[in-house]
């Protein structure tokens, strides 16, 4: 591995915590709007599907899904990808790196998991900093050097610090159910299209069809809005935590190339959790990507680096 240099940003750990609070406050407001919108969409689909009874059923599902997502989001996400706990004795240098970043962020050290896949990537999950986990793939540690890896880990801890992990899981769950409900209507939607048809005529039927078509698209767009904004926020907070915006920028370029060469499509509904989109796709797919363009993320990080005081220092840990 090649030697790296760290560059301090103008923010100290204390300053990073202060800025994080403002970001978390804005994140909470966006989350409230997002979940309210997704919940309303699900309730509308339920009402159109089954009238008042469908509305009650949809409301019940919302409560159950939010409860499940809140308490078990980390276990669900990790199990879906076959993640295994990475013990301290297996990678003490990695645990030390995560612990150092967590201390700088003012949060407990999250659990560390390994995904036995070649695609270089990482994600964080958990309902709050006290119940969080960071998962890295085997391919990630194969292609990144020390400073780049710390940049990626800082990005993931930033998601935990900013409460993004809970947002992503709940949003994905609600959006997925809305889309699934719409798909069911295509197969079992006779009652939807004919309910009260004699009373309300063609206008009612067309209105139902409109909900059928628009609801999944609206759910996806709402999810994309929060997913893209949170990636920019995690890049900024992560660059502050590791003190080297260029390290994260360099890592993103490598990870984008790795995802292109070795796309990973297990559990596509969780693709937004990863630091770079693990799915492959053309130009049309990029319009609906849960991640902002890598080139724009890198540009912002380079600007952060250019505005930061440069203070090179030797690497603090040996690569074990």
Strands 132-137 and 111-115: parallel
Q: Which tokens in the block code for residue 24?
A: 């978390």
3-state SS, residue 279: coil
Q: Which tokens in the block code for residue 319?
A: 């690569």
Whether 168 and 272 have beta carbons less than 8 Å apart is answered as yes
Q: How far is CA 36 from CA 4, 30, 39, 184, 267, in A?
A: 45, 10, 5, 23, 25
Which helix (DSSP H) or strand (DSSP E) does residue 25 occupy?
A: helix 13-80
The residues that are catalytic are 156
Q: What gap in Å lies between CA 280 and CA 7, rounded to an integer?
A: 33
Q: What gap in Å lies between CA 313 and CA 7, rounded to an integer?
A: 7
Which helix (DSSP H) or strand (DSSP E) does residue 259 occupy?
A: helix 245-261
Q: Which of 122, 155, 120, 157 is nearest to 140 (CA)?
A: 120
**CA angle in degrees (0–180, nearest 5) for 220-223-224:** 85
Q: What gap in Å lies between CA 244 and CA 248, rounded to an integer?
A: 7
Cα 185 to chain centroid distance, Å, stands at 29
Q: What gap in Å lies between CA 96 and CA 114, rounded to an integer?
A: 16
């Amino acid at each position: 591995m090649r030697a790296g240099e760290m560059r301090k940003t103008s923010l100290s750990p204390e300053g990073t915590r202060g800025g994080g609070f403002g970001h978390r406050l804005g994140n909470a407001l966006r989350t409230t709007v997002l979940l309210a919108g997704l919940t309303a969409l699900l309730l509308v689909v339920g009402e159109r599907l089954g009238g008042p009874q469908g509305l009650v059923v949809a409301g019940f599902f919302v409560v159950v899904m939010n409860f499940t997502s809140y308490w078990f989001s980390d276990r669900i996400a990790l199990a879906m990808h076959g993640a295994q706990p990475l013990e301290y004795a297996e990678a003490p240098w990695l645990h030390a790196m995560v612990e150092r970043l967590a201390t700088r962020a003012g949060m407990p050290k999250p659990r560390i998991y390994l995904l036995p896949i070649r695609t270089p990537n990482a994600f964080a999950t958990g309902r709050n900093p006290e119940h969080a986990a960071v998962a890295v793939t085997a391919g990630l540690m194969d292609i990144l050097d020390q400073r780049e890896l710390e940049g990626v880990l800082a990005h993931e801890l930033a998601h935990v610090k900013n409460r993004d992990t809970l947002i992503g899981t709940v949003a994905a769950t609600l959006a997925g159910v809305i889309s699934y409900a719409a798909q069911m209507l295509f197969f079992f939607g006779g009652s939807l299209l004919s309910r009260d048809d004699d009373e309300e005529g063609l206008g009612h039927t067309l209105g139902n069809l409109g909900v059928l078509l628009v609801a999944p698209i609206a759910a996806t767009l709402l999810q994309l809005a929060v997913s893209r904004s949170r990636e920019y926020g995690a890049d900024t907070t992560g660059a502050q935590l590791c003190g080297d915006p260029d390290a994260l920028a360099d890592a993103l370029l490598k990870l984008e190339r790795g995802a292109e060469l070795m796309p990973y499509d297990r559990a596509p509904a969780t693709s937004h959790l990863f630091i770079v989109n693990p799915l492959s796709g053309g130009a049309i797919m990029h319009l609906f990507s849960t991640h902002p363009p890598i080139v724009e993320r890198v540009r912002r990080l380079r600007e952060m680096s250019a505005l930061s005081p440069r203070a090179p220092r030797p690497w603090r840990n040996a690569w074990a």
